[in-house]
Amino acid sequence: MLSREQIVDTAVEMLDAGGEGALTVRALTERLSTGSGAIYYHVGTRDDLLDTATETVIGAALAARPAGEAATPGDEIRVAALALFDAIAAHRWLATRLTLQIVRNPVGPVTVGIFERIGGQLGALGVPRASWFDAASTLVHYILGAVSQNARIEGDTSGIDPEGDREELFDAASAAWRGLDPEAYPFVHAVAGQMREHDDREQFLTGIAVILEGLTRLR
């Protein structure tokens, strides 16, 4: 018997394979050898299905916990943030849907779940209660911005090859930066090599560390 979980899992597979454009009720019914009525009964409309797929993937990411029993609040935040980063790297359609959820549905399970998972650690970090919302928002905004930058861009992608080779892209950009006038652009010229060699996940974690260090100074 067809279940809601089967429908959602199949929808996620289709989204991973072809993006939002690949997920239609008709394509889903053909994949599952069922009728559209079963989809609407178990999940609802296509938009409902996209929301549910987003909730499912994000929920699994937020369930990640640090290994060991001596985890600090900072460890909890880093693990959750990196799980979100990795989820969007694995599901390239997710960045757009996640942003829509945060903006359009502040009381939905995705928004509430992310803020609770991240913000729930701030008191133990020593952040004053009056600063909790601002601190959590800073972390969430950084996470969303960083993961979205590393995900496929939806909408106008003229001049952008979403399947382009990352190493070639940064090699070319690094060479272009090194070709700039070092007197006019001393900083850009100095970090050109670092841009070519950087690791996205490590850079992401560095940003989290910088924010956490700043938050501890709010005490």
pLDDT score of 161 more than 70: no
The amino acid sitting at 20 is E
Instruction: Determine, yes or no, domain membership for 145.
Output: yes
Residues 6 or more apart whose Cβ sits within 8 Å of residue 131: 122, 215, 218
The string of pLDDT tens digits covering residues 44-59 is 999 999 999 999 999 9
Per the structure, the complete domain to which residue 135 belongs is given by 70-216
Residue 5 included in any domain: no
Residue 212 within a domain: yes
Residue 27 lies in a domain: no
Over residues 13-19, the mean pLDDT reads 96
Residue 7 has pLDDT above 80, yes or no: yes
Contacts of 187 (CB under 8 A, 6+ apart): none
Domain total in the chain: 1
Quick check: is 207 in a domain?
A: yes
In a domain, 46, yes or no: no
Percentage of the chain beyond pLDDT 90 is: 66
Chain CA centroid to CA 50, Å: 15
Q: Which long-range contacts (CB under 8 A, 24 or more apart) does 206-210 make?
A: 207/142, 207/146, 208/77, 208/78, 208/81, 208/139, 208/142, 208/143, 209/78
Q: Is residue 28 part of a domain?
A: no
pLDDT of residue 154: 44
Whether 164 shows a pLDDT value over 80: the answer reads no
- Is the predicted pLDDT of residue 160 greater than 60, yes or no? no
Mean pLDDT for the stretch of residues 66-95: 92
Question: What pLDDT score does 200 carry?
Answer: 86
Q: Enter the tokens of residue 204.
A: 């992401």
CA-CA distance, 101 to 105, in Å (whole number)? 5
DSSP tag of 22: G
Q: Indicate which CATH number applies to the domain containing 127.
A: 1.10.357.10
Q: Model confidence over 83-131: pLDDT tens digits?
A: 999 999 899 899 989 988 888 899 999 999 999 999 999 999 999 999 9
Within a domain: 125 = yes
Mean pLDDT, residues 209-219 taken together: 88
